[in-house]
Structure 1
Amino acid sequence: MRLVVLGLSLSSSWGNGHATTFRALLSAYAARGHDIVFLERDVAWYRDQRDLADPDFCRLCFYDDLDDLARFTPEIAEADAVIVGSYVPEGVAVAHFVQQTAGGTTAFYDIDTPVTLAKLARGDFEYLSPEVIPGYDLYLSFTGGPTLDLLERRYASPAARALYCSVDPMLYRPLGGETRWDLSYLGTYSPDRQPALERLLIAPARALPDRRFVVAGPQYPAGIAWPPNVERIEHLPPAEHAAFYSASRFTLNVTRADMIAAGWSPSVRLFEAAACATPIVSDIWEGLDAIFAPGSEIILATGTADVIAALARTDAGTIGRQAQTRVLAEHTAAIRAGQLETYFNEAKTSANPLTMTTAA
């Protein structure tokens, strides 16, 4: 299969979770024998922070604007499938171009589904609008559960399918070494996540001055009062994630408000940490128990006391290993690439009446 992907970024993981998601998925998809071209808008904030300029699993090309994107008309027209990702600049115009040009299956890969739906509900069509959704053969959603029915029923998607994030176990695995922190958190600043971070990490740090904590990620405001025992790392490139998790006795997962409301929205950080056998303390949302078993594969927390109790547990190693086993069985990039291939084959069959008649 020839696949063209227009995504937010593959070259830079700075301030976004899209790059690591695309890297894991597309690397595994290429390993299945497919040819991939990734088209990325050349923007200054990623150009200056690139940590994968020359991937070995696809051809990475940059374009300046919509006019420049037209250079890739032959690739898009001749591809067996074309994916447009969420948060692609001028995504609605890109959708129109792709749907008018592509000769194969078209798909929208929403790595931010609950955020997208909240934007659509308030008339914010930054990268997707209701009128282009029916024009995509597939809506590949970061969120599963009831959201898939909503996408088909309310927004007329021909086929909404869950395509959760995943992890490459060759890159994310236990590295051993010294434990540096009792509780870590890796994530870009988000105003709607900050109250939970205050409750589940900063407040425990104040209550446990002898414990060590760390928050890694960019864009945190200068005015945050970090306790002395909370270390700050401004940016942590993917190559250092496994070492970060391996040096953490526990790690924290905090979910954005829109994703908590929708449920069924596992962050890529959950899978990455679990692949490193690092026990996870997480906030609570519907569908999480379908990803990890509470108590034995993940620890759930609603407040500061829950985190303090978690840090006192002596079975951290067991929890981490059981989560790792679950991830390796269900959430690797190889498994996700197989799901994507199945979705494309189903969409191709559905779009071909002759094939459907023959199969019947």
Structure 2
Amino acid sequence: MKRPLNIAFFGSSLVSAYWNGAATYYRGIIKELHKKGHRVTFYEPDAYDRQKHRDLPDPEWADVVVYEAAEKAVLDMVGRAVDADILIKASGVGVFDELLESEAIQRRGREQACIFWDVDAPATLQRLEENPDDPFRDLVPQYDAVLTYGGGQPVVDAYTALGALECVPIYNAFDPETHHRVQPESRFQGDLAFLGNRLPDREARVEDFFLKPAARLPDSNFVLGGNGWTDKDLPRNVRYVNHVYTRDHNAFNVSPKAVLNISRDSMARMGFSPATRVFEAAGAGACLITDHWEGIELFLEPDTEVLVARDGEDVVNILKNLSPERARSIGEAALRRMFSEHTYAHRTEHLESILDRLVETRKVASGMTLGSNTP
């Protein structure tokens, strides 16, 4: 094993998945980095009531630093992190993002590799396209690399056009220690379940792919989980179970006959952006129905390991013809694919090689010998 790295990671939250879809992704990646001997300090703001809805105690595989959602605290945290081998600023921290992005570059150590990790690249790129004066445009070429949650070649090409020195997708994956088969629970049982927060750039697609099919199939039972749907007008056969904590995701996935993935608008347009839910469901052996997006076959084989719907009418037809036996067969095939290609251990093998190379490049460029630093 190469020399262990000390990594300072600024993200939304590691210990709370409340209004924080990136939590599972962060946990899977960071846990595997720890197994490889690297040390990660995760800096997260006390914001959006996430600390009140923690679903993970401070883990053994990361040092978690929760800081006040104030400018001085942000600056103090960046100051603490300047001695790390690698400083990672993730998108969507939610508190002083612009300040973090600029300070990470301005205050970096000479030997420190600095990475921007975009966990919502389609949305970020759309924002930059619509706003030529966005200050992040000037910062992109100053980061040693841009890593992305997904997006494939379209995202790589877009970031390269913005001057990124390097852009590499590190896709979502499956954590066998977290996502696995459990006993079904009656509160989540039904014909189709969907788990997702109510967001402006997904709500219309939820109506098309989930609520309209429910109205078309009044004798079927549908389950809706996630934040923000309390005041939404729902068909009578849709049971709303509110926020579903991470500890209950396995039961949510295995209890219904099928589960539904619905991409946000920007992710669907960009393609190659499988959501965390795809891997959570497949990793629990669930029968997954997903909206169509380019690149799905790179992760799961349509009709064999996943069912693909182009609109709500497709969802209706799939449910009408989906037997329990076929649902089980699809779930079993998806689970086999997860183990063979899509664990976080697979992703971190790729990531580790990138981090090692970036650190070595900074070492050579700075003309200094890296010591054992602590973020």
Structure 1 and Structure 2 fold alike (TM over 0.5): yes
1:199/1:73 CA distance change after superposition, 3 Å: closer
SS at 1:83 equivalent: strand
The amino acid that maps onto 1:310 is: I
Contact 1:138/1:159, CA 8 A, preserved across alignment: yes
Counterparts in 2 of 1:303 and 1:262: CA distance versus 1, 3 Å:
closer
- 1:93 equivalent to 2:104? Answer no
Q: How do residues 193-342 of structure 1 correspond to structure 2 at under 5 angstroms?
A: 193-220=202-229, 222=231, 224-311=232-319, 312-314=321-323, 315-342=326-353
Kept in 2: contact 1:92–1:125 (CA 8 A)? no
Q: How many residue pairs were aligned?
A: 352
With over 3 angstroms needed to count, the CA separation of the structure-2 counterparts of 1:72 and 1:322, relative to structure 1, is same
Deviation at 1:353, TM superposition (A): 4.8
Asked whether the equivalents of residues 205 and 264 of structure 2 are also in contact (C-alpha less than 8 Å), the reply is: no
* Cα root mean square deviation, aligned: 2.0
Assess, with a 3 A threshold, how the Cα gap between structure 1 residues 230 and 113 changes in structure 2: closer, same or farther: same
Kindly indicate whether the alpha-carbon contact (under 8 Å) linking 1:282 and 1:301 is maintained by their aligned counterparts in 2: yes
Equivalences for residues 62-211 of structure 1 within 5 A: 62-64=66-68, 65-73=70-78, 75-88=80-93, 89-103=95-109, 104-123=112-131, 129-142=136-149, 143-152=151-160, 154-177=161-184, 180-211=189-220
Q: How far has the Cα of 1:125 moved from its partner?
A: 8.0
Determine if contact 1:167/1:271 at 8 Å carries over to the other structure: yes
- Secondary structure, counterpart of 2:49 in structure 1: helix
Shift of 1:74: 5.7
For residues 9-48 of structure 1, what are the structure 2 equivalents within 5 Å?
Answer: 9-48=13-52
Q: 1:41, 1:276 → 2: CA distance?
A: 31
- The one-letter code matched in structure 2 to 1:56 is E
CA contact (8 A) 1:185 1:214 kept: yes
Deviation of 1:211 (Å): 1.5
**Residue identity in the other structure for 2:43:** L
Q: Which has the higher contact order (CA 8 A, sep 6+)?
A: 2
Q: Could you tell me how far apart the structure 2 residues matched to 1:250 and 1:125 are?
A: 45
Q: Rate the CA distance shift 1:221–1:120 in 2: closer, same or farther, 3 A.
A: farther
Distance (Å, rounded) in 1 between the aligned partners of 2:23 and 2:287:
24
Letter in 2 for 1:90: F
Deviation at 1:111, TM superposition (A): 0.7
Give the CA deviation at 1:75.
4.1
- Residues 350, 69 of structure 1: alpha-carbon distance in 2 compared, 3 angstrom cutoff: same
Relative to the length of structure 2, the TM-score reads 0.88
Residues 1:56 and 2:65 are matched in the alignment: no
CA-to-partner distance for each residue in 1:300-328, whole Å, 9 max, x for gaps?
A: 11233322222222311111111111122
Structure 2, unaligned runs of 5 or more: 367-375
* More off after superposition, 62-71 vs 22-31: 62-71
- Matched residues in 2 for 1:196 and 1:189: separation? 11
Contact 1:29–1:338 (Cα < 8 Å) also in 2? no
Alpha-carbon offset, residue 178 of structure 1: 5.6
Residue 195 of structure 1 deviates from its aligned partner by 2.4
Percent identical pairs in the alignment equals 29
Kindly state the Cα deviation for residue 198 of structure 1 after the two structures are TM-superposed: 1.9
The separation in 2 between residues aligned to 1:95 and 1:46, in whole angstroms, is 22
1:341 CA displacement? 0.8
Q: Cα 1:170–1:124, aligned 2, differ >3 Å: closer, same or farther?
A: farther
